[in-house]
Amino acid sequence: MTALLIGLSLLFVWSVTADRLARWSVTAPLAFVAAGMLLTGGPDPAIRIDLDMHGMQRGAELVLAVLLFLDASEAKDYDRLRRTVGEWRLLGIALPLSIVLATLFGALLFPGHSWWLLVLMALVVMPIDLAPISAVLRDTRIPLKVRAALNFEGGLNDGLISPVFLFCVANLSSAQGSGLAELAWNAGKQALLAVLIGGALGLLAAWLVRTAHRAGWADGGSLRLATLALPFLAYAATVLVDGNGFVAAFVAGLCYAPTARELAGNLDLVHDVAQVMAFAVWLVLGGLATDVFSLSGGWAVFGYALLALTAARFVPVFLSLGGLDLRRPERAAVGWLGSRGVTSIVFGILAASQLPDDQDTLLVVNVMCATVLLSVVLHGVTVAPVARWFEGRDRAREGTPREPVG
């Protein structure tokens, strides 16, 4: 009860001071991470974090399910660009290459660990999440093409990674040493069930919500509640039959997206709930982060985190976007502004709660914490200079009209 009281108090204080703190560049992730470090430190902490708790694992799963649904169902109006921004190259070329590079960096810095664990670490730290620099999507100084590419990639990469992530976890945690073919069969079966159930629920919910709206059976508030229930329904129904609840929530969001676009404000409540859940995740990260700084041999952990944020991300993105209608500075901005956030934290918590080896668990959690913490600092500090650079470039280009914004 004490932890709940403290968490709700932090939420209230943040809610009434958010705009003021933003003027001082204090973002929500930074504030809640700092609070987590303060409240979980010392011999008698105010809040205790136990990754082995069943509730912690289930809570992390629900957070990811809601985020996946929201990412899939929310679509920004980037149609006015009328040209590709390299979105499918980012997902189909750059993301796999980034995972390969991060795996190889892991092999160099952490020799002796299994390749499955190294791939798992790469899957934890490579999906981008714009939560640490969420204002970048509203900053009109940054070219629309850059914002569109980042938003599209951030919305879909975690949904594509989650099945592979669960497959690696299953391989590492298999007590009976299940064969690769058996694991692949189980993963495929779970994914198929997820697609069928998530798709069916998403399409059914979309039809019911549209029908209710047009017939006047429910107002906007009631329909927002129905939308909020959908990712939880998709997750719970799929897990009940041993399917992949994450994929189900993601597919349900894809099927529901046209309805969400049709009904203005329909996703507002899901946004608010997802934000509250994300605050709790940042608080947990603060509690985990204190152990990273006292880690023996931490140079390797932070070296890996730095490589994951720079070379493993920048090189594949910059190369994969070549030949498109994106100038070099724009390609570089897409490569650099790939911050890490809630998705990596949730993946790290889920891995830690299921891996049987304590050393493997410690390594994954430490790498995740170091990567996200560095991202919060590095991307948070550099996003404003990047925006100012583009603004200065636009002013220097005489006669070039600004891109439309909205």
Give φ, ψ of 16 to 5 degrees.
Answer: -90, -5
Residue 63: which of 135, 190, 158 has the closest Cα? 158
CA distance 133 to 383: 7
Report residue 185 as tokens.
Answer: 């069969």
Alpha carbon distance 50, 106 (integer Å): 26
Task: State how far the alpha carbon of 171 is from the alpha carbons of 158, 168, 176, in Å.
Answer: 20, 5, 10
Q: Is residue 48 part of a domain?
A: no
The structural domain count of the chain equals: 1
Q: Over the chain, what is the mean pLDDT?
A: 84
pTM, 2 dp: 0.83
Cα–Cα dist 310/383, whole Å: 15
Give every CB contact of residue 268 below 8 A, 6+ residues apart in sequence: 224
Rounded Cα–Cα distance for residues 287 and 51 (Å): 11
Amino acid type, 246: F
Q: What one-character DSSP code corresponds to residue 145? A: H
Q: Does some domain include residue 96?
A: yes
CATH of the domain at 214: 1.20.1530.20
> What is the identity of the amino acid at 141?
R
Angle at 358 between CA 354 and CA 360, to 5 degrees: 80
pLDDT tens digit sequence for 11-57 = 888 888 887 777 776 777 888 888 888 887 767 777 777 666 667 77
In a domain, residue 223? The reply is: yes
Any idea how long the chain is?
406
CA gap 41, 342 in Å, rounded: 22
Tell me the residue type at 288: L
Q: Is residue 42 part of a domain?
A: no
Separation of alpha carbons 205 and 36, rounded Å: 38
Q: How far apart are CA 348 and CA 158, in angstroms?
A: 13
**pLDDT for the residue 82:** 58
Domain range holding 383? 53-395
Distance CA 234, CA 138 (A): 31
Predicted pLDDT of residue 296? 53
Indicate whether 366 belongs to any domain: yes
Closest CA to 269 of 316, 325, 219, 338: 219
Q: What is the DSSP letter of 52?
A: T
Residue 142 is assigned to a structural domain of this protein: yes
First-to-last alpha carbon distance for the chain, in angstroms, is 44
Contact 29, 282 (CB under 8 A): yes
Residues 369-380 have a mean pLDDT of 90
pLDDT tens digits along 292-318: 665 555 789 999 999 999 999 999 999
Lowest mean pLDDT among 91-95, 330-334, 383-387: 383-387
Question: For 323, left (φ over 0), alpha (ψ -120 to 50), or beta?
Answer: left
CA distances from 165 to 125, 195, 211, 226, 343 (A): 11, 17, 37, 30, 12
Share of the chain above pLDDT 70, in %: 88
The tokens for 48 are 């205790």
By mean pLDDT, which of 28-37, 73-82, 387-396 is the weakest? 73-82
Residue 28 lies in a domain: no
Q: Which residue has the tokens 């200065």?
A: 392
Q: What is the mean pLDDT of residues 309-334?
A: 93
Is 11 a member of any domain? no
* Residue showing tokens 């719970």: 236
pLDDT (tens digit per residue) in 106-161: 999 999 899 999 999 999 999 998 888 877 877 889 998 898 888 888 877 887 88
Tell me which DSSP letter residue 92 carries.
I
